[in-house]
Amino acid sequence: MKTIKLIILSTILLTGCSVSIQTYDFIHHGTESLNSSSSFKYVEQNVTGKAKTTYYPQKWRKNQDKETDGLISAAKQNLFDMYPLENNQALANVSIDVIKTTKGKPAGLSGVVIPDEITIEVVVSADIIEYY
């Protein structure tokens, strides 16, 4: 019996006391909003723009960076900075992925996590088409 208690205690002590939870959400917009009756060709496929922010709930908010324009807007701007659109070009098959990672410590056996760090990353991916 003492051996089992020792094994359980050793497992608890040697197991990491940190928890990481990752959630994922996405939105997809196809080509239904485009003028698909016109002829077009694919110029680039699967171009991406990213934006990420991390904040720490246990610290003062005024000492942390803030994303004033929103992460989706920043990711979209990042995409356009890397792949500027020219005349007669448009985005098609746009996907917006939102990945939220929470790192923290468990609050007992309740399954609740007290967050130390929350990171949110947005990835906007699309194809670039050109009408002719």
Residue 66, domain member (yes or no): yes
Residue 113, domain member (yes or no): yes
**What is residue 65's predicted lDDT score, i.e. its pLDDT?**
67
Domain that residue 92 falls in: 18-131
Q: What is the pLDDT of residues 94-128, one digit of tens each?
A: 999 999 998 888 776 677 778 888 889 999 999 99
Mean pLDDT, consecutive 10-residue stretches, the chain (132 aa), reads 62 60 76 68 93 82 69 92 92 91 79 82 93 86
Residue 56, domain member (yes or no): yes
Residue 12, domain member (yes or no): no
Residue 10, domain member (yes or no): no
Please choose, from the candidates 92, 78, 108, the residue with its C-alpha nearest in 3D space to the C-alpha of residue 30.
92
Q: Which residue is it, tokens 């790192």? A: 103
Residue 3, domain member (yes or no): no
**What is residue 14's predicted lDDT score, i.e. its pLDDT?**
47
Contact (CB, 8 A) for 17 and 79: no
What's the pTM? 0.73
Residue 24, domain member (yes or no): yes
Contact (CB, 8 A) for 103 and 115: yes
Residue 64, domain member (yes or no): yes
**What is residue 63's predicted lDDT score, i.e. its pLDDT?**
63
CA distances from 19 to 9, 54, 59, 109, 115 (A): 19, 16, 19, 13, 9
Q: How many domains would you assign to the chain?
A: 1
